[in-house]
Structure 1
Amino acid sequence: MCGIVGYIGTQEAKEILISGLERLEYRGYDSAGIATVSEGRLNCVKAKGKLYNLREKLEQTVDNAQIGIGHTRWATHGKPEVHNAHPHLDSYLKVAVVQNGIIENYRELREELKSKGIGFNSETDTEVIPHLISQYLADSNISLLEAVQKTIPHLEGAFAIAVISADNPYELIVARQQAPLTLGFGQGEFFCASDITALVPHTHAVLTLENGEMARLTPLGVEIYTFAGERVSRFPRTLDWNPGQVEKQGFRHYMRKEIYEQPGVVRSSLETYLNPNWKLEENPDFSPINLGFSEQLYDNIDFIQILACGTSWHASLIGKYLLEQVAGVITSVDYASEYRYSPKPVIPHTLIVGVTQSGETADTIAALEMEKARREKLDSKYHAKLLAITNRTESTIGQLCDRIIDTQAGIEIGVAATKTFVAQVMGFYFLALDLAYRRRSLSNERIDSIITGLRSLPDKMEKILETQEDAIEELAHEFVKETEDFIFVGRGINFPIALEGALKLKEISYIHAEGYPAGEMKHGPIALLDSEVPVVAIAMPGSVYEKVISNAQEAKARDARLIGVTSVNAEEAGLTFDDVLNVPEVEELLSPILAVIPLQLLSYHIAAIKGLDVDQPRNLAKSVTVE
């Protein structure tokens, strides 16, 4: 979950590295550092805490080096202290390494190196790597590339590394195994980074390393090899991103900017995946949804298994509801982190869906790989049909899965997912409708009605942002000082929205919050309620509206302050709720897309008023690339 950046070329490396780290700070912000090579010596500067601490240190140094590596850390092994910050060096101060990932056997390697008289300056797993590389460089007359190549077989775990050496001032070596790493190509200069966002200001020509690949970057070009040393021939691709996509554009925080981008994200997905030639009155013989999937994907699907983590898991719960209630396919949703160690019995004719914003979530990738491998050993009816719902098609999951729903949400910087959650949910609407049409589980008239409702969502989302934010911000002030707990409740398709609302509040405001099915409150959680515990009820008109109102009244009878997310008129809502977060009227099946927005805004404003770091909440990182 750490951020790596590297540069070799004709410019001063220091500023390129620090600006790249600033764009990767959402991946880690416990500590940071850079290492460069100039005049035959290694220069390393590190700082604890936010990147501005590192920048202040660098401003006091003169460094004209044209090669370097940088790192922003999310701590796994060792506390967030300067001595644990990357880059890590060998005993001779000749080799510097940065890493994203975890070296699982580092203790054994550390003890072996200690037995040879090598001392350690940190508690990290990474520090074993420069010592191993240094040993190979000292013991034989080999290149830095070869030394890294000989070191890699000793490393167990998931990692991406970048290496420089004082004795090899014109080459930067990188390697990838189960952790993301992308190369950037410029004119006489080359880059590497954990995420494309760090490369966008400098180049649009990129190449993502695959697992088991390493590369040698020099001022003359890039050479790619397998870990076994075989040369690989591949070509970069061109990004269609621009630097403006990762700027705040006048917003105080990325999170608020990304909340406001949600109507545009939904419009973009509708334009991409709704077939413009489909007209109900013509009774067409093709699907209204244009996902580009062949009939082969849908043939004989009896079961759908969804694997996801965090916010993606909440989106997947809505997906389960849609796939069962709209498409009529039995669906299961599992935490990928749990599924890896307790998978379901292998069921034939199964579609396996992995959901991950970054496309690099370690547990989700591992669960998909495991499922694919164990099914390939069985009869063909058990073979895995893999589908990814992701925002990053160039990612690991994009390479693993044959079919992808590109959520097209654009770059999301805020650690707390907002627009990517909505984009994933939209992906499930399209998948469910496509399946429903092909399986004839819904009439064309009903499908057309749902599509009409989907088309209306962006305008309604904008109305919430235009008319409700001021009132939500005012309400947020009341929960800043004394409130320590929140309860969120919902039923049916909006139970996952209760979970998501609670998660957002926990993530960025550090207020304890839990989401429950509203009908389960009286089976235990109601014991938590009193006048100090606000309850947020998602009460969208539909099949479970009266039940939610009844459950809300039970909370109110225990003196809980009751906040309602609803589209009923203010007078009627006021009879039940102490505070009302209004959303436009929409049919229940489509209501999650609207109901989540007031909860995002409430969490955002509580955190912002408290003066917390909204975009980079403590202990969290955007992409969870380690187990």
Structure 2
Amino acid sequence: MCGIVGYIGTQAATDILIAGLERLEYRGYDSAGVATVEADKINCVKAKGKLFNLREKLEQTENKSQIGIGHTRWATHGKPEEHNAHPHLNADMSLAVVQNGIIENYLELKSELISKGIEFRSETDTEVIPHIISIFLANSSSLLEAVQKAIARLEGAFAIAIVDANNPFELIVARQQAPLILGFGQGEFFCASDITAVLPYTRTILNLENGEIARLTPLGVEIYNFAGERISRFPRTLDWNPVQTEKQGFRHYMLKEIYEQPAVVRTCLDTYINPNWHADENPDYSPVNIGLTPNLTDDLKHIQILACGTSWHAALVGKYLLEQVSGIPTTVDYASEFRYSPKPIIPNTLTIGVTQSGETADTIAALESERARRADLEPKFQAKLLAVTNRAESSIAQICDRIIDTQAGIEIGVAATKTFVAQVMGFYFLSLDLAFRQKTISNSRIGEIIEGLRHIPSQIETILDTQAEYIEELAHDFTAETEDFIFIGRGINFPIALEGALKLKEISYIHAEAYPAGEMKHGPIALLDNKVPVVAVAMPGSVYDKVISNAQEAKARDARLIGVTTAMNATEAAHTFDDMLTVPEVDELISPVLSVIPLQMLSYHIAAIKGLDVDQPRNLAKSVTVE
């Protein structure tokens, strides 16, 4: 939520700030602004709405400053108006601050500042920061010291960047529970909320950790803890390519990322499946290598998964796999709820946090609270933490014992597609590894599942090749008058119904709900008529006949039925469904990775035909880094 970019070097700062904000706009796009230092003055330009509004303003001015900060906002405190946009300035407009996060004690600080005669220009929590820094600056030996003193007054989660007209050759940044990275170039240095902002300029990166503050000057970077003690750490070099952040000919990032899913699954398989493992040789080593250590798996009796949004749906698929394949009782909780109603402490429990960005505030806080409440107990009760994430360098990786890196690459579209599939793949690997260790299924069955997974990339390609045109044509029927959708599924595909409904409402703004198919007649069926389409995920397997029966109940209420099923079942299913989205024949256990693809495509095309902003849907941000 919100994106920060900072630059100091030899180039025109404004160009770099705008380019960086373009790559961060998925984090927030209610308003944007930049502040640069030139001729001992702060030059601050802000605009409401999308970034192009700010760009148009900046094109009317010439600014050669070589130091500055920029921000793209997702509104928390204060409406998305220009006066609430960042950067925020102190009283004499000599110092500017951008912030990601929430200052929880800002009302107390604001009241104190008002009593000192300070007038506020916004309704944001951020504006207290430049005023507090300015007060401390009057009695400090340096800008760095003043920022350190100001930070001691702040409560909450924040990442901040500061420039000061009276200190025109330094940029100060600090991090507490909100992501911030530093980039190292040739005679130039960067800060940003995400690596994507600096990839075109450098791949040498250092992640600030919680409780760290950094001073960037034309000569280099100094890092300190909040107590003022100097810290020595070395940056690392990424192997990411800036091309990964381009659309590459696709109309939207979301569509590009849907089409990247075969490659993502292949990468996952190549990374984690042991090519030398053969079921018929009775090997004594696991078929997958996800780096689990004995302290995480020995005597494992219970698993609890914490997640939000799309990651929660992937976790539900994971629950099914961990229970049915690995034989381990598993619960799934919203991370935001778990923090305030934690489960009874059970011994030998593995706690898994699932987050695409690795920065989801509720998930991180839930994991930290789980470790804390178990810290003083005997060993079998102590926390064992595992993360499933797409960002190996993220905050969640710092607090967990191990991570499963989902290998999905950069995802720009706010609505998750390839990262969902990659998370689900992570749960296949985890369940197979634990099943092998616990001997809950035979090696031959493990081999069958792995073989099925190996076919997934080409099967997704088949769906994209054969169904895309049909799904786009079908989508036209739901763009004008359709206001509600119902999705149903059972067993391992109920989470796919949930994910299909979420995708549709996220980007098309059509109200959509998902239910276990068997629950339709327990209330939701009252919603049905000829204006409410019903999507049924009806994959062949143990619950296929039940889903068909439930779908027929909807058909009897005049609902238009759309079925997601296999091509082999299409002839039979045609008696029930008005429209069919077909996928290749697949083992029911593996089917979620295929059944979700047509639902992603349907949501995408409905939103695109309606002319909506698919990649940046209203009110949403890619990474929710505040509670």
Counterpart AA for 2:601: L
Q: 1:281: how far off?
A: 2.4
3-state SS of the aligned residue for 1:597?
helix
Equivalent residue number for residue 143 of structure 1:
142
CA offsets 1:152-198 (integer angstroms, 9 cap, x no match): 01111100000000000000000000000000001110000000000
Mapping 1:44-443, distance limit 5 Å = 44-138=44-138, 140-443=139-442
Distance 1:402 1:571 in 2: 50
- Give the aligned residue type for 2:142: S
Letter in 1 for 2:274: N
Question: Aligned with 1:572: secondary structure?
Answer: helix
Match of 2:591 in 1: 591
Classify the secondary structure of the residue corresponding to 1:63.
coil
Post-superposition shift, 1:51? 0.4
The AA in structure 1 aligned to 2:590 is L
Contact 2:140 2:146 in 1 (8 A): no
The gaps in structure 2 that reach 5 residues or longer are none
Structure 1, residues 457-506: CA drift from partner, whole Å, max 9, x if none? 10000000000010000000000000000000000000000000000000
1:547 paired to 2:540: no
CA distance in 2, matches of 1:168, 1:273: 50
Kindly provide the amino acid, as one letter, of the partner of residue 50 in structure 2: K
For the aligned residue pairs, the C-alpha RMSD in angstroms reads: 0.6
What letter is aligned with 1:607? A
One-letter amino acid of the counterpart of residue 43, structure 2: N
Give the distance between the partners of 2:140 and 2:269, measured in 1 at CA.
59
Q: Does residue 1:625 correspond to 2:625, yes or no?
A: yes
CA distance in 1, matches of 2:482, 2:26: 27
CA distance in 1 between counterparts of 2:74 and 2:201 reads 25
Identical columns (%): 77
Secondary structure of the corresponding residue to residue 621 of structure 1:
coil
Residues in 2 aligned to 1:295 and 1:462: alpha-carbon distance in whole angstroms = 38
State how far apart, in whole Å, the 1-side matches of 2:558 and 2:34 are. Answer: 55
**How many Å separate the matches in 2 of 1:484 and 1:77?**
31
Q: Note if contact 2:280-2:443 (Cα within 8 Å) is conserved in structure 1.
A: no
Contact 2:48-2:81 at 8 Å conserved across structures: yes
Q: Deviations over 1:128-173 (max 9, x none)?
A: 00000011112x1421100100000111110000000000000000
Q: Distance in 2 between matches of 1:357 and 1:574?
A: 37
Distance 2:290 2:178 in 1: 28
Identify the range of structure 1 (224-233 vs 280-289) with the bigger mean alpha-carbon deviation: 280-289
> Which whole-Å deviations, capped at 9, do the CAs of 1:10-61 have from their partners, x for residues lacking one?
1110000000000000000000000000111110000000000000000001
Residues 513-552 of structure 1 show CA distances to partners (whole Å, capped at 9, x for unaligned) of: 0010000000000000000000000000000000000000
CA distance in 1, matches of 2:571, 2:424: 31
1:578 deviates by 0.3
Which residue does the alignment assign to 2:495? 496
Q: Distance in 2 between matches of 1:55 and 1:618?
A: 20
Cα distance in 1 for residues equivalent to 2:245 and 2:62: 29
CA distance in 2 between partners of 1:242 and 1:538 (Å): 37
Cα drift, residue 294 of structure 1: 2.4
Aligned-partner Cα distance in 1 for 2:436–2:380: 23
The answer (yes or no) to whether the contact 2:280–2:444 under 8 Å persists in 1 is no
Which deviations, in whole Å up to 9, do the C-alpha atoms of 1:321-366 show, x marking residues without a partner?
0000000000000000000000001111000100000000000000
- Once the two structures are superposed, what CA deviation does each residue of 1:249-296 show, in whole Å capped at 9, x if it has no partner? 000000000000000000000001000111122221111111122233
What residue identity is the alignment partner of 1:538? Answer: V
Aligned partners of 1:336 and 1:534: how far apart in 2?
32
Larger mean Cα displacement after TM superposition, 285-294 or 307-316: 285-294
The SS at the match of 1:569 is helix
Match of 1:481 in 2: 480
| CA apart distance, 1:570 | 2.7
Please give the secondary structure, in 2, of the residue aligned with 1:77: coil
Cα distance in 2, alignment partners of residues 389 and 481 from structure 1? 39
Letter in 1 for 2:205: V
Q: Which shifted more, 377-386 or 24-33?
A: 377-386
Q: Distance in 2 between matches of 1:377 and 1:604?
A: 49
d(CA) in 1 for partners of 2:304, 2:229: 37
- Provide the C-alpha distance between the structure 2 equivalents of 1:57 and 1:371, rounded to a whole number of angstroms: 48
Contact 2:279–2:446 (CA under 8 A) maintained in structure 1: no
Instruction: Report Cα offsets for 1:362-404 as digits up to 9, x if no partner.
Output: 0000000000011012111111111000000100001111111
Matched residue, 1:40: 40
Matched, 1:531 2:530: yes
- What is the identity, as a one-letter code, of the residue corresponding to 2:280? E
Aligned partner of 1:580 in structure 2 is 580
Tell me the amino acid that sits aligned with residue 185 of structure 2: G
CA–CA distance in structure 2, aligned partners of residues 625 and 67 of structure 1: 26
Instruction: For residue 510 of structure 1, report the CA deviation from its aligned partner.
Output: 0.1
What letter corresponds to residue 528 of structure 1 in structure 2? L
2-side partners of 1:250 and 1:316: how far apart? 33
Question: Could you say what secondary structure the match of 1:158 adopts?
Answer: strand
Amino acid at match of 2:421: V
Larger CA deviation: 290-299 vs 75-84: 290-299
Amino acid at match of 2:506: E
SS at match of 1:588: coil
Letter in 2 for 1:165: D
Secondary structure of the residue that 2:531 maps to in structure 1? coil
Give, as a single letter, the amino acid of the residue that structure 2 aligns with 1:37: V
Partner of 1:465: 464
AA aligned to 2:479 is V
Question: Which residue number corresponds to residue 608 of structure 1?
Answer: 608
Q: Distance in 2 between matches of 1:346 and 1:496?
A: 27
Q: Give the match's secondary structure for 2:589.
A: helix
Contact 2:31 2:72 in 1 (8 A): yes
Q: Summarize deviations over 1:48-75 as a string: whole Å, max 9, x none.
A: 0000000000000111000000000000
SS of 1:169's equivalent in the other structure is strand
- Structure-1 separation of matches of 2:505 and 2:48: 25
The whole-number CA distance in structure 2 between the counterparts of 1:294 and 1:553 is: 48
Query: Number of paired residues?
Result: 626
- SS of residue paired to 2:152: helix
| Equivalent in the alignment of 1:20 | 20
* Letter of the structure 1 residue corresponding to residue 600 of structure 2: Q
| Superposed displacement of residue 569, structure 1 | 3.3
Report the CA distance between 1:608 and its aligned residue.
0.2
Cα separation, 2, equivalents of 1:291 and 1:82: 47
AA partner of residue 301 (structure 1): L
